[in-house]
Amino acid sequence: MCKKTVNIAVLVSGGGTNLQALIDAGKSGALHSGTIKLVISDTKGAYALERAEAAGIKTAIVPKEKGADNAGLEKAILSLLEENGIELIVLAGFMTILSKDFVSRYEKRIINVHPSLIPAFCGAGFYGLKVHEAALAYGVKVTGATVHFVNEVADGGEIILQKAVKVLDGDTPERLQKRVMRLAEWKILPAATETVCEKILEGRL
């Protein structure tokens, strides 16, 4: 008999290197208490979708409606989550901010990776490369990444894991982004996902 694992949906918008880290962790056994059942993108043509397909994972696209609120997009995501029996949502470079209503349906069941040491350089307007531009402009000598639960405050939910990364002389936002991904994000996102899945299976969350 197969061991019960937590059904995971990963929500993406772009390149999907964090999704790849999760896929690789599933293959190596580092992520064994959860299974990625579905990858949902709010962006057509996101490279993350190719990564999912190459790993044999079901994909769906829920395009953003220009100028509208995200009600239609959220409704479409909710149906997909229900149809696929999803128990944990992992935001891996997902650039849509989910509404309070959406988030309250999945309390302690949505986690996000953010490319800074929260509470620095986070919240509305801080995403992707902008986070690293802000860190360099401020002149911090240490930055990093955070995985946290998602609540109604942007980047405000309980912290699960963090990892620090040094800023080096001559860093550009792009160089810093790559180092933070490689040394922090790709490690702590799979680790935090496994921890959360384990706790869900054991009824501790």
Nearer to ligand GAR, 79 or 164 (CB): 164
Q: Is 55 helix (H, G, I), strand (E, B) or coil?
A: coil
CA 89/CA 174 separation, integer angstroms: 27
Give the count of alpha carbons within 13 A of 82, CB side only.
Answer: 8
Angle at 137 between CA 132 and CA 140, to 5 degrees: 75
| 114 labelled catalytic | yes
Exposure string of 160-192, with b = 16+ CB inside 10 Å and e = fewer, is bbbbebebeeebebeebbebbbebbbbbbbbbb
Locate 155 and state its tokens.
């980047």
Segment contacting ligand GAR by CB under 6 A, of 16-24, 28-36, 81-89, 193-201: 16-24
Nearer to ligand GAR, 2 or 8 (CB): 8
* Of the residues 185, 188, 191, 194, which one makes contact with ligand GAR according to CB under 6 A: 185
Nearer to ligand GAR, 37 or 114 (CB): 114
* Of the residues 57, 86, 181, 200, which one makes contact with ligand GAR according to CB under 6 A: 181
* Of the residues 26, 115, 157, 190, which one makes contact with ligand GAR according to CB under 6 A: 115
User: Closest separation between CB of residue 171 and ligand GAR, Å?
Assistant: 15
Locate 62 and state its tokens.
């829920």
User: Closest separation between CB of residue 17 and ligand GAR, Å?
Assistant: 3
User: Closest separation between CB of residue 199 and ligand GAR, Å?
Assistant: 22
The candidate with the shortest Cα–Cα distance to 129, out of 178, 162, 96, is: 178
CB of 192 within 8 A of CB of 161? Answer: yes
Q: Does 98 bind ligand GAR (CB under 6 A)?
A: no
Q: Does 92 bind ligand GAR (CB under 6 A)?
A: yes
Q: Does 146 bind ligand GAR (CB under 6 A)?
A: no
CB of 147 within 8 A of CB of 192? Answer: yes
Q: Which residues are catalytic?
A: 114
Residues found near ligand GAR in the complex (CB under 6 A): 12, 14-18, 48, 92-93, 113-115, 127-128, 131, 181, 185
